[in-house]
Amino acid sequence: MVSPAQFQSQYKEVLTRCRLNDVPDRSQLRTLIEHTRNELFIFFGGGYEPFATLKKILECQESLLAPIRSLPPELIHEIFSFVTAADRISYKVGSRRKKILGPVYPLTWVCHWWRRQALSRSTLWSSIDLGIVSPKANLDVVKFFHDCILRTGGTACIPMDVCIDLTEYGRESSGHSFVGPHLQLLSLLICQANKWRSLVFKGPSEDLFGRFNGIVTTLLNTRTIFFPLLEKLTLSLDGPEWTTRSPLRPLGTIFDSCPRLHTLETSSLWFGGTIDLRNLKVLRVGSYSGPSLSTLFCACPLLQSLQITMFDYESRSAPESCYTHTNLSKLHINHLPGDYFAPDAWNSVKLPKLAELIVTAHFMSSVWELDDFKEMLVRSECKLWRVNFFGSRRVPSDVVESFFKDLPVDKESSILYVDNQRFDLWQEEQNRKE
C-alpha cells in the first residue's frame, strides 16, 4: 500500500507543475487522472489519511487539462483585460485596510505562467485609484503601490485611468500639507500625466485643489502643461459645496491644453477658467458662472450633451446677440427652488438640434419658473422626441401637465415620461375635457 508520505510527494510534484504551467502529454495526463480516481474510490469512506491528499492531487491534475493553459499569450492577455476592466487597482493611504485591492492580483497567484503574463502587460496595471485618508502611512504598502504604478510602463505611452481621492484626507488633515509618502505617490502619478486618459479628482475643499495644482505646476515645470491623451476629466467637491454660488477657481491653467478632452464633469465652472473645452462633447456641471449661457455654448462648439444645475451672471454686460448651437442634442436641467438659475438666462441661445430633454425638479410651485426656458425651445424650432420629468412628488400635478403643454413635440412620435413612467399628455387633456 502507498504510504501517506508518497501521496504528499505526488501532490507536491503535481502542484509544482500547476504553478509552472508545465502541462504533460494529454494522453499521459488522462491516464494519471484515471489512476487517481481509482485510488480515491479505494480509500473513499475508509477514513484513510491520504484521501484528502488524493482529492488535491486530482484537482491539480484536472486543472492541468484546462484549455486556458494551452492558449497563446495574446489570447490570455485579452481574457485578463476583460477580468481587470471593471475595477481599478485601489489603495487608501493611511486607512486601517493595509492592503491593495485590484482584480489583477488574483491572476498572479494562479501559476508562474499567469503571473509572468500579468506582470508583463502594462495595460493591466494602468487603472489606478489612489485615496489618501490621513497623514499616517504604512511605508511597506506605499512602496508596493509605488511599484504597481511603475508597472504601467514607465516611459511607454500606455493610457492610464487615474482617480485621486482626497475627500477623507481633507477632513482628517486639518490643513496640514502632504507628508513624504503621500507626496511620493502623488508625484509619481503626476509625472505620468502625459499618459492620463481619464482623471477623477475628489476633494472636500478648494484648498486641496490648490495644493494639487501647486504640485502639478512644480513637478511638470513648464509654461503650458500638456495632456495629450486626456479624454475624460472629473473634478468634484464633496458635500454642500455642490450648491455653492461662488465659482471654483483652484486649478489655474493646468488643463488649458487637452486636445482630446470630450467629457467633463465638474462641481463648478466659470467663464474666466482655462479648461480646454473646444472638443468637448459631454458636460455635466453643478454651477456655471459667466456673462451669459451663450459664452458657455460658444466655448463648446461640439457639445452634444449638457447637464447643468445652477447659472449666475458673473458680471452684467450689454445683451449679446442670440447664439445658435447646432450640435447639442441632449439637455438635462436640475431645477432647484429659488433663484439658482439667473432670470432670462436662456434668452441668449437657440438649440435647433435638441431632441432629448430631462428636467429634474427639486421643487416647483408654478410652471412660470421655466417660462424662459420653454420660450427658448419654441424659438429654437427644435423637435423633442423624448422628454422625461423627474420629481413629480415634489411638484403639484397641474404644474407637471402645464410643463408638457406647448412643448415642441411631435404627437405621433414623441415619448413623454414622468419619473420614467409613460405620460400621455393628449389623453390627459381629453380626460379633462370629458
- Write the pLDDT tens digit of every residue in 351-403: 999 999 998 887 766 666 778 888 899 999 999 999 998 876 777 777 777 88
94 part of a folded domain: yes
Tens digit of pLDDT for each residue in 283-309? 999 888 888 888 899 999 999 999 998
223, three cell numbers: 509654461
Mean pLDDT of the chain: 77
CB half-sphere exposure, 228, CA atoms < 13 A = 6
Overall size of the chain counted in residues: 434
When pLDDT is averaged across residues 66-95 and rounded to a whole number, the result is 80
Q: Are residues 363 and 305 in the same domain?
A: yes
DSSP 339-379: SSB-TTGGGGEE-TT--EEEEEES--S-GGGGHHHHHHHHH
The pairing of strands 421-422 and 415-418 is: antiparallel
The C-alpha atoms of residue 388 and residue 414 are separated, in whole angstroms, by 11
Residues 6+ apart with CB under 8 A from 202: 163, 164, 165, 166, 167, 234, 236, 238
21 phi, psi to nearest 5 deg = 55, 40
**Residue 30 falls within a domain, yes or no?**
yes
Contact (Cβ atoms closer than 8 angstroms) between residue 281 and residue 263: yes
Q: Is the residue at 107 inside a domain?
A: yes
Residues 62, 92: one domain? no
Mean pLDDT of 156-163: 84
Residues 139, 125, single domain; the answer is yes
Cell numbers 499569450 correspond to 73
Q: Is the pLDDT of residue 154 over 70?
A: no
C-alpha 88/C-alpha 102 separation (Å) is: 6
Q: At what angle do helices 139-150 and 180-190 cross, to 10 degrees?
A: 10
Same domain? 86 vs 200: yes
Per-residue pLDDT reduced to its tens digit, 127-142: 888 888 777 767 777 7
Q: Which of 68, 94, 120 is the last residue of a domain?
A: 68
Beta strands in 240-380 (DSSP E): 263-270, 282-290, 305-313, 323-324, 330-335, 349-350, 356-361
Whether residue 417 is contained in a domain is answered as yes
Distance CA 232, CA 255 (A): 12
pLDDT bucket at 263, cuts 50 / 70 / 90: very high
Give the 3-state secondary structure of residue 93. strand
Q: What is the pLDDT of residue 315?
A: 58
Distances (CA, A) of 212 to 32, 176, 177, 180, 365: 61, 13, 10, 15, 42
Which CATH number fits the domain that encloses residue 338? 3.80.10
Average pLDDT over residues 409-424: 78
Give yes or no for a contact between 29 and 61, defined as CB atoms under 8 angstroms apart.
Answer: yes
Is the model more confident about 257 or about 324?
A: 324
Q: At what angle do helices 206-220 and 180-190 cross, to 10 degrees?
A: 60
Question: Are 101 and 138 in the same domain?
Answer: yes
Q: What distance in Å separates the CA atoms of residue 153 and residue 29, rounded to the nearest whole number?
A: 39
What radius of gyration, in Å, describes the C-alpha atoms of the chain? 30
Most confident option among 124-138, 260-274, 399-413 = 260-274
C-alpha cell at 185: 505617490
Question: What's the mean pLDDT in 177-195?
Answer: 80
User: Among 68, 94, 117, which residue terminates a domain?
Assistant: 68
Q: What is the pLDDT of residue 167?
A: 81
- Among candidate residues 183, 199, 221, the one where a domain is terminated: 221
Within this chain, do residues 285 and 434 fall inside the same structural domain, yes or no? yes
**Mean local confidence (pLDDT), 306-329:** 79
Residues 76 and 13 in one domain: no
Specify whether 285 is located in the same domain as 419: yes
Same domain, yes or no: 312 and 337: yes
In a domain, 230, yes or no: no
The pLDDT tens digits of the residues spanning 209-262 come to 777 777 787 777 655 568 889 999 998 876 444 444 444 454 455 788 889 999
Q: What is the pLDDT of residue 252?
A: 53
> How far is the C-alpha of 271 from the C-alpha of 281, rounded, in Å?
18
At 370, the amino acid letter reads L
| Same structural domain, 408 and 429 | yes
Residue 195 corresponds to which cell in the numbers above? 499618459
Number of domains forming the structure of the chain = 3
102, 18: one domain = no
Looking at the structure, do residues 298 and 333 belong to the same domain, yes or no? yes
The answer to whether residue 268 is domain-embedded is no
89, exposed or middle or buried, with CB in 10 Å at 0-12, 13-18, 19+?
buried
Helix (H, G, I), strand (E, B) or coil at 329: coil
| Domain span including residue 17 | 4-68
Q: Which of 338, 392, 349 is nearest to 372 (CA)?
A: 349
Which helix (H) or strand (E) segment holds residue 397: the answer is helix 397-404
The predicted pLDDT at position 114 comes to 84
In a domain, 244, yes or no: no
Decide if 49 is inside a domain: yes
Which of these, 231, 162, 237, 222, lies nearest to 192 by C-alpha position? 162
pTM score: 0.79
Q: Give the residue with greater pLDDT, 147 vs 48.
A: 147
Q: Which carries the bigger pLDDT value, residue 232 or residue 176?
A: 232
